[in-house]
Amino acid sequence: MNAEPIFDTVLVANRGEIALRILRTCRDMGIRTVAVYSTGDRDSAVVRAADRAVHIGPAAARRSYLYAPAIIEAAHSTGAQAIHPGYGFLSEDPDFAEICGAEQLVFIGPPPEVMARLGDKSLARKLLGEAGIPVLPGSEGAVATAEEAERVAARIGCPLIIKAAAGGGGRGMTVVRDPADLGRAYRATRAAARIAFGDDRVYLERYLDDARHIEVQILADRHGNVRHLGERDCSVQRRHQKLIEESPAPELPVDLAERLGAYAVRGARATGYVGAGTFEFLVTATEVALIEVNCRIQVEHPVTEAVTGIDIVAEQLRIAAGHSLRHSQAELVRRGVAIECRINAEDPAHGYRPSPGLLEVFRPPGGPFIRVDTHAHPGYRIPAEYDSLLAKVIAWGPDRPTAIARMRRALAEFEIEGPGVRVTTGILTEILGDPEFLAGAHTTAFLDLREPRATDVA
């Protein structure tokens, strides 16, 4: 497939569906692959899919997928030239990217200094605000004391949100609606951030009720070319974590979509971004504000792939190998609508708590315009150590009603059973029939305002 040299061998420093997805693109491109796995993932499909697989430690991520020395050693011992970090784990760790460079290994992601600047969410707000991208009123950088938090709160008013500068995955955030709660919330968020991220710096920004989460996928090469691949709507969230994503964003005025794309391109240029990345915005009827930049491939990237026909992982590999982007902005047209549903092993009826266990039945859907990204199989034991994402179902249609109908069909086909295992299929099906969702009028508050009812009881 390649006329141009990419890499002979790539190591994938991740697990689960994203590791498998990256390995598959490498295979398509004729690249030799190395998987790494923990003891908990010994029987994973990832191990079988790779040309080589290297055991890197016990199930605890801290001693395997987050343990840089074992990963670097695996790369050297297998002759890998590059490391794809996937999402989560080491993907947003500038120190790891730095170590890769020092070890003569290509880290497939932005330069470490760019990751460091954008990974600090309060610094990213400042830098991108200075570049002319709208951000919400909030603190200038991290807020060091409760008194300072009071002063910022007096200026921006309630509701506001306290966020960990190093936060991610919907964790380390507290919404404050009553000024009387501020001091307690400030201290609690700092304590939670210290435990979750080893960094207790927090910042404040105004909280938008009734906002849509709309994000823009970008690609930037090392030669100063930046393109956007359009937006995704990720407003169906539970507890600030995404459950359904789609591209294009429904009912979004074209001029607004173009503005968001232009902001993302400007932000990438202003920060010297290289690689695939995502600029996340909140959008209301009257305002638009950037909330953060993600320096990695995202879980929801397949919806963009489905509408653009572009394999984003292949582009990451090409960019990391030093090639220029292949498409002009005008060539990046989107066709139809794609929707992704996240099938998580968790129980919507009990606060979406994780639900590990053995899968006795696992029959993914198929048929026209359905893509399923998963590493699971019958007999797969869902580990308790990692995140609960079991599968992603992506449906494409020439229009939104067709994509939704295909998704409903696919979810109905999906059979997942195991003792005690609960999954999100039921709640996803309910959402797909909800009038507000069908009208494309839902905001990030959509799911939290509803009482979860259906669960898949195995």
Find the part of the chain contacting ligand ADP (CB under 6 A) among 108-116, 206-214, 261-269, 319-327: 206-214
Smallest distance from ligand ADP to CB 291, Å? 4
Q: State both tokens at 306.
A: 């489905």
Residues in the chain, total:
458
The three-point CA angle 267-268-273 to 5° equals 145
Closest CA to 203 of 291, 281, 133: 291
Find the part of the chain contacting ligand ADP (CB under 6 A) among 17-25, 40-48, 167-175, 310-318: 167-175
Q: State both tokens at 243.
A: 């459950």
Q: Outline where 3-42 has alpha helix (H).
A: 16-28
- Contact with ligand ADP (CB under 6 A): which of 30, 169, 322, 433? 169
Distances (CA, A) of 307 to 152, 368, 394, 441, 443: 42, 15, 11, 21, 23
Find the part of the chain contacting ligand ADP (CB under 6 A) among 200-208, 251-259, 326-334, 423-431: 200-208
Site membership for ligand ADP, residue 280 (CB under 6 A)? yes
Site membership for ligand ADP, residue 161 (CB under 6 A)? yes
- Contact with ligand ADP (CB under 6 A): which of 49, 90, 124, 208? 208
Peptide bond into 159 cis (omega under 30): yes
Smallest distance from ligand ADP to CB 184, Å? 19
Find the part of the chain contacting ligand ADP (CB under 6 A) among 204-212, 304-312, 341-349, 420-428: 204-212
Question: Residue 216, Cβ neighbours under 10 Å: how many?
Answer: 27
Q: Which amino acid is at 407?
A: M
- Contact with ligand ADP (CB under 6 A): which of 214, 218, 291, 338? 291
- Contact with ligand ADP (CB under 6 A): which of 32, 126, 190, 213? 213
Cβ–Cβ under 8 Å, residues 15 and 85: no
> Among this protein's residues, is 194 annotated catalytic?
no
Q: 66 or 175, CB closer to ligand ADP?
A: 175
Smallest distance from ligand ADP to CB 118, Å? 11
DSSP per-residue codes, 108-146: SSS-HHHHHHHHSHHHHHHHHHHTT--B-SB-SS---SH
**Structural Rg of the chain based on CA atoms:** 21
Q: State both tokens at 375.
A: 């590493």
Site membership for ligand ADP, residue 82 (CB under 6 A)? no
Site membership for ligand ADP, residue 205 (CB under 6 A)? yes
The three-point CA angle 392-65-116 to 5° equals 90
Cα separation, 315 vs 203, whole angstroms: 34
Pairing relationship of beta strands 381-382 and 275-283 according to DSSP bridges: unpaired
Site membership for ligand ADP, residue 394 (CB under 6 A)? no
Whose tokens are 């294009």? That residue is 248
Q: 171 or 326, CB closer to ligand ADP?
A: 171
Site membership for ligand ADP, residue 215 (CB under 6 A)? no
Find the part of the chain contacting ligand ADP (CB under 6 A) among 15-23, 80-88, 207-215, 257-265: 207-215
CA max distance for the chain: 63
Cα separation, 82 vs 90, whole angstroms: 14
Site membership for ligand ADP, residue 170 (CB under 6 A)? yes
Q: State both tokens at 305.
A: 């792939």
Site membership for ligand ADP, residue 443 (CB under 6 A)? no
Pairing relationship of beta strands 52-57 and 32-38 according to DSSP bridges: parallel
- Contact with ligand ADP (CB under 6 A): which of 168, 272, 378, 440? 168
- Contact with ligand ADP (CB under 6 A): which of 40, 110, 111, 167? 167
Catalytic residue among 21, 296, 342, 371: 296
# binding residues, ligand ADP (CB under 6 A): 19
Site string for ligand ADP, 124-143 (x = CB under 6 A): ------------x-------
Smallest distance from ligand ADP to CB 153, Å? 13
Site string for ligand ADP, 230-269 (x = CB under 6 A): -------x--x-----------------------------
Hey, is 394 helix, strand or coil? strand
Q: 282 or 303, CB closer to ligand ADP?
A: 282
Q: What burial letters (b/e) apply to 167-188, b meaning 16+ CB within 10 Å?
A: bbeebbbbebeeeeebeebbee
The catalytic site residues sit at 296
Binding site for ligand ADP (CB under 6 A): 136, 161, 167-171, 205, 207-208, 211, 213, 237, 240, 280, 282, 291-292, 444
